[in-house]
Amino acid sequence: MDDQAAPCPPGRIWAFLGLVTLISLPFWLLARGQILPGLPVAALMVLCPAAAALALTAYDQGADGVRRLLARILDVQVMSGRSWLIPVLPFLVAILVFLILRAAGAQVPNPSVTAQGLALLLVLFLPGAVAEELGWTGYAMPPLTARFGTFGGGVLLGLVWAFWHYPALIAVGRAPAWIAWWTLGTVAMRLIMVQACRHAGLGLAGAILFHAASNLAWQLFPVQGSWFDPRLHGLLMAASALVLSAAWRRRA
């Protein structure tokens, strides 16, 4: 990814994280109920990273900076070759989790997918992925990786991303062990996205596709994600992150 295109000056990253936290508070404190099984109303805070990134970009660079940031949502031209396979990884991991559960004797039902249901999930998850990644990848990632390196910046951003979701997870009654394993998988996914942007030309559009695919793979898991196993998912995603990290480092 071209850091010169990034609108976030190094010192602004802390303002960004603080602003995201501030405007997320109403969703954390007031939102109740569920949009989908396991998806609380608090999940509407996905708009907050984009809002913070656009506000700070407008303050620092005006309308031109905002247009440049928004234009990167469609930067599919930076993706080439194998980088198109990265957004498929969440589906591959979900399939592997399903097969392992079946092999272990778990009575996991077969996935049930309809065209209408798939369209509804895409309408729900794709805009949310755009809003989140506009902030996390488009705005926050370049200064974090510049300061802490690709691996360190990826892990740090992954932890911030995971902690930011905790109020929503708690709102739907997730157990501490569930959250801990989910955190491992979430940090691993962020690390994959950051490294792919830095070493494999993933781009903001690719990060959006990866993010949407991860949410889609979870919700399509039987039954509406209720059989989703965060421990297996976390371990497999962490292993994928380490293998890809070693491969990209060797190539670099």
Which of 73-77, 78-82, 102-106, 156-160: highest mean pLDDT?
156-160
pLDDT of res. 12 = 87
Residue 112 has pLDDT above 90, yes or no: no
Task: Band the pLDDT of 4: cuts 50, 70, 90.
Answer: very low
pLDDT of res. 98 = 95
Which pLDDT tens digit goes with each residue over 64-74? 999 999 999 98
pLDDT of res. 3 = 46
Taking the C-alpha atoms of residue 201 and residue 177, their distance in angstroms, rounded to an integer, is: 35
Residue 43 has pLDDT above 80, yes or no: no
pLDDT of res. 7 = 59
pLDDT of res. 2 = 44
pLDDT (average), residues 12-16: 92
Q: Which position has the higher pLDDT, 216 or 76?
A: 216
Residue 38 has pLDDT above 70, yes or no: no
- Asked which of 46-55, 134-143, 162-171 is least confident by mean pLDDT, the reply is 162-171
- 45: Cβ–Cβ under 8 A, 6 or more apart, which residues? 24, 27, 28, 31, 164, 168
Percent of the chain with pLDDT over 70: 91
Residue 79 has pLDDT above 90, yes or no: no
